[in-house]
Amino acid sequence: MSAIIRPINQDDQQKLAVLIRSVFEEYGAPLRNTVYDDQRTWHVYDSLQNVNAQYWVIDSDNEIVGGCGFYPTEGLPDGYAELIKFYLSPKFRGLGFGGKIFQLVIEQARKAGYQKLYIESFPEFSSAVSMYLRHGFYHIPARLGNSSHTATSIFMVREL
């Protein structure tokens, strides 16, 4: 399968939201008070304007099959950004695209001046949580910032 990793554009927003919501449904993750029911999920590109944030998509023949980015979520400590909306289509898992976009986000967050990345997740996404641990994230006991995704129960940080 072929695909490219590129910055998100405005036309990608709806396709990305559909992908994200499908992954929540696939894994049986909570649908309330999460990215799933957050209206900002439909406006990722729009939310990046005029802030120190970036987001990339994995594009396979004009189909959005993955994405990941970072964002300075309100209420995070100074020097922190949140790793946001890291999702892959089932047919693109295990092919190396997830690792590539993940490493790109880490490197670009560092270049943007952040010292730490924070992420929230769910037990249903245990394979992703395992990947975060392999890439230097560690568990912390409580939520940071105000993502408004109050259903999340796993909180992690990584030094940049």
Arithmetic mean of pLDDT, 27-54: 94
Domain residue ranges in the chain: 4-159
CA-wise closest residue to 43 among 32, 33, 55 = 55
Strand ranges for 20-93 from DSSP E: 54-60, 63-71, 80-88
- Determine what percent of the chain is predicted with pLDDT higher than 70: 100
Q: Which CATH class is domain 4-159?
A: alpha beta
Arithmetic mean of pLDDT, 37-48: 94
pLDDT of residue 125: 93
For the purposes of burial, counting CB atoms within 10 Å of the CB of 32, is it exposed (0-12), middle (13-18) or buried (19 or more)?
A: exposed
CA-wise closest residue to 128 among 6, 27, 38 = 27
pLDDT of residue 75: 97
Q: What is the pTM of this model?
A: 0.94
pLDDT of residue 30: 87
Using pLDDT thresholds of 50, 70 and 90, give the confidence band for residue 4: very high
Question: Could you tell me how far CA 26 lies from the centroid of its own chain?
Answer: 17
Using pLDDT thresholds of 50, 70 and 90, give the confidence band for residue 1: confident
Helix ranges, the chain (H): 13-27, 44-47, 97-111, 126-134
Helix ranges, 12-56 (H): 13-27, 44-47
